[in-house]
Amino acid sequence: MKKNQLPELKLFLDNALREYNQHSFIEKDPISIPHRFSRKQDIEIAGFFAAIFAWGNRTTIINKCNELIKLMDDAPYDFIIHHQDIDLKKFLNFKHRTFNPTDLLHFIRVLKHHYKSNGTNKKNEDATLESAFTMSMKNKDKNVENGIRGFHDYFFSLEDSPSRTKKHLSTPENNSSCKRINMYLRWMVRKDEHGVDFGIWKNIRIDQLICPLDVHVQRVARKLKIIKSDKADWKTAVELTSILKKMDPNDPIKYDIALFSLGAK
């Protein structure tokens, strides 16, 4: 993209952002699932599953998320922490596209291990999923690549982790764009006065985030000539983010909401 095109592009995207970055965005988006909760850990867990399930029709995604949350007695964190093996039987018929009970049980197992292992008090009230990402990051890191790589390795570090489940958790190691994880990180890390994103994680900088590169974002970004590549990979996601940083170095990923909404309307 030519430098002299940036002011016009920024004006266009800023106008789109004002239109779409509103509380009304939440209702029909998977981010509505974590917005059901106020407790930090509930938001993290509900948001994590909502992001992982986020491929395909948004109505179906939201319905499957609500189905899962109901199976967790509408209290994700309490269920993750306190469930017994017998409580897992009700998940044996749960499926979302290729995400099956084997995958779900591993996710539940890892989440329980993480929260139980990372709290500093008996009730694990200060445990957070953020630490699973930041353990592999340094403050000087340009972006979240190391965090996502480390999270993926950590997530499959338990004994007997199923190989098939790895396809549901992307990593830059495979040159994936990591769309769903980047979207989840956007939800948890960035925040503004409009209240779409949560901003409950404080140890990852907003300017370290990478733009989630889904089909809508990619199509609009190509149409606007922000990116040239037709590959939805990590390199293209980084390239897109680098252009967005020229428009807002501190919060480039806010434009994800505009690009997605322009493509999905």
Confidence check: pLDDT of 233 > 90: yes
Calpha distance 260→212 (Å, rounded): 9
Confidence check: pLDDT of 70 > 90: yes
Kindly report the backbone phi and psi dihedral angles of residue 205, in degrees, each rounded to the nearest multiple of 5, phi listed first: -75, 145
The residue-averaged pLDDT of 220-240 equals 95
More confident residue, 126 or 46: 46
Q: What is the pLDDT of residue 123?
A: 66
* 75 alpha carbon, distance to own chain's centre: 20
Can you say whether the dihedral through the CA atoms of 131, 134, 135, 136 is positive or negative?
positive
The residue-averaged pLDDT of 229-243 equals 95
Confidence check: pLDDT of 127 > 70: yes
**In what helix (H) or strand (E) does residue 14 lie, and over which residues does it extend?**
helix 6-20
Nearest-CA neighbor of 49 among 212, 150, 180? Answer: 180
- The overall pTM is greater than 0.85: yes
Calpha distance 246→10 (Å, rounded): 9
Calpha distance 256→131 (Å, rounded): 24
Q: In the structure encoding, which two tokens stand for residue 10, read together?
A: 């920024």
State the chain's mean pLDDT as an integer: 95
pLDDT band at 120 (very low <50, low <70, confident <90, very high): low
Nearest-CA neighbor of 39 among 71, 76, 81? Answer: 76
Confidence check: pLDDT of 4 > 90: no
Q: How many CA atoms lie within 13 A of 62 on its CB side?
A: 13
Q: Is 176 helix (H, G, I), strand (E, B) or coil?
A: strand
Question: For residue 15, what are the CA distances in angstroms to 9, 26, 159?
Answer: 10, 19, 50
Q: What is the pLDDT of residue 251?
A: 97
Residue type, 134: T
Calpha distance 249→47 (Å, rounded): 26
Confidence check: pLDDT of 259 > 70: yes
Nearest-CA neighbor of 178 among 169, 190, 167, 188? Answer: 169
CB atoms within 10 A of CB 195: 14
Calpha distance 188→198 (Å, rounded): 5
Confidence check: pLDDT of 82 > 90: yes
Tell me the pLDDT tens digit for each residue of 171-214: 999 999 999 999 999 999 999 999 999 999 999 999 999 999 99
pLDDT band at 15 (very low <50, low <70, confident <90, very high): very high
Helices within 118-203 (DSSP H only): 130-134, 145-155, 179-189
